[in-house]
Amino acid sequence: MPLSIDRFSRSKRNRFTSVRLDRLVERRDDAEWVTRALEADDTHYVPLWRSRSLLEPDDSGTIAVYLRPGELDELDAIQPPTLLGTDDKRTYFAVSVTDAQRDAIIAARPAAEFADLRRSSIDMDAKHAGILAYAKALHYWQHRHRFCGVCGSPNLLRSAGHRMVCSNEECARQSFPRIDPAIIVLVTHGTHCLLGRNARWPARRFSTLAGFVEPGESLEDAVVREVFEESSVVLKDIRYVSSQPWPFPASSMCGFYAEAASKTCQTSAELEELRWFNCDELTQAVRSGEVLLSPPVSIAFQLLAEWFRQQGGGDLEEVVRGVRETRGDARAS
């Protein structure tokens, strides 16, 4: 299958990757600059309450709600704000808010709510979904690494939220944001692709195969091992496609296509059902409601949609949207 666009462009199409912020790495340790930037008129705060993002519905879907200087009286009630970067118009900081601050924010903006970004990002503007995902990833790391892994003393946040230092001066161990690499792979054989069903997923949900990279493995090793563990399929060719930050809670998804040596497969403890589809079969299964795919914000869907297009199936998102609209109409009538 020839690549229709380069990999960089391909990754940029994935959800949460449209963050065009200059991350201002050189400013993170400039305390004076950070203090000034925090109070500047054009600064936007990204509030996070218990890992949830502040969102509000509007006519176009869901919008990210930012707070402005003066709207929060205590920016460091939990910890110092985190510098995210600038889009040349404004500077963005992530701010962790207390329960009391959360109540005050919602009282001032009754239409807004602190909600799960994964579910809400489906109908959000790509740039703002990316900024919120970036903030959420750092927030998660900061709140789960509050103590030094060597001596157990509390960690102190440094470099405007991007580095931690152990408060025990004799230890002074530094730590940096953690990301767990995971592979996600669409296995194909000729004109067919393989989708699996995990027993824990909602009924009829099928998706690509995926798993975490283990210590001592290359990404490619992980693809071969995971596919064999989950489906007993032996691969003969692997190609990297694109990647996606996935802060649910702390992954980096690395997407691949892999060609199977044969269609022989077997279910596993993880996957209770495995099915091969060609384009027509997949279209039919989606239209009939027999198969539900992952939401389009996922790289799983993007891998599948790109394959579908290359196979001449057309726009998979349109197929899915058509099903949703038909069901919506049926409910309305």
Q: What's the CA gap between 46 and 131, in Å, rounded?
A: 8
Give yes or no for a contact between 247 and 131, defined as CB atoms under 8 angstroms apart.
no
CB of 172: closest distance to Zn ion in angstroms? Answer: 7
CB of 173: closest distance to Zn ion in angstroms? Answer: 5
Residue 146 or 327: the one with the smaller Cβ distance to Zn ion is: 146
The reply on whether position 146 binds Zn ion by CB under 5 A is: no
Return the C-alpha torsion angle 5, 276, 202, 126, nearest 10.
10
Q: If DSSP codes are grouped into helix, strand and coil, which group holds residue 50? A: coil
Neighbours of 287 (CB within 10 A): 14
Residue 176 or 212: the one with the smaller Cβ distance to Zn ion is: 176
Give yes or no for a contact between 177 and 84, defined as CB atoms under 8 angstroms apart.
no
Peptide bond into 249 cis (omega under 30): yes
The reply on whether position 148 binds Zn ion by CB under 5 A is: yes
The reply on whether position 171 binds Zn ion by CB under 5 A is: yes
The reply on whether position 149 binds Zn ion by CB under 5 A is: no
Taking contact as CB under 5 A, which single stretch among the options 128-136, 148-156, 178-186, 205-213 is the one that binds Zn ion?
148-156
The reply on whether position 282 binds Zn ion by CB under 5 A is: no
CB of 159: closest distance to Zn ion in angstroms? Answer: 17
Using alpha carbons, select from 254, 250, 245, 256 the residue that is nearest to residue 126.
245
Give yes or no for a contact between 263 and 190, defined as CB atoms under 8 angstroms apart.
no
Among 34, 84, 117, 166, binds Zn ion (CB under 5 A): 166
Count of residues near Zn ion by CB under 5 A: 8
- The interface mask with Zn ion, positions 213-252, x = CB under 5 A, is ----------------------------------------
Q: Where does residue 167 rank: exposed (0-12), middle (13-18), buried (19+ CB within 10 A)?
A: middle
The reply on whether position 143 binds Zn ion by CB under 5 A is: no
The reply on whether position 210 binds Zn ion by CB under 5 A is: no
Residue 40 or 151: the one with the smaller Cβ distance to Zn ion is: 151
φ, ψ (nearest 5 deg) of residue 280: -65, -45
> What amino acid occupies position 129?
A
Residue 156 or 235: the one with the smaller Cβ distance to Zn ion is: 156
The reply on whether position 164 binds Zn ion by CB under 5 A is: no
For Zn ion, the binding residues (CB under 5 A) are: 148, 150-151, 153, 166, 168, 171, 173
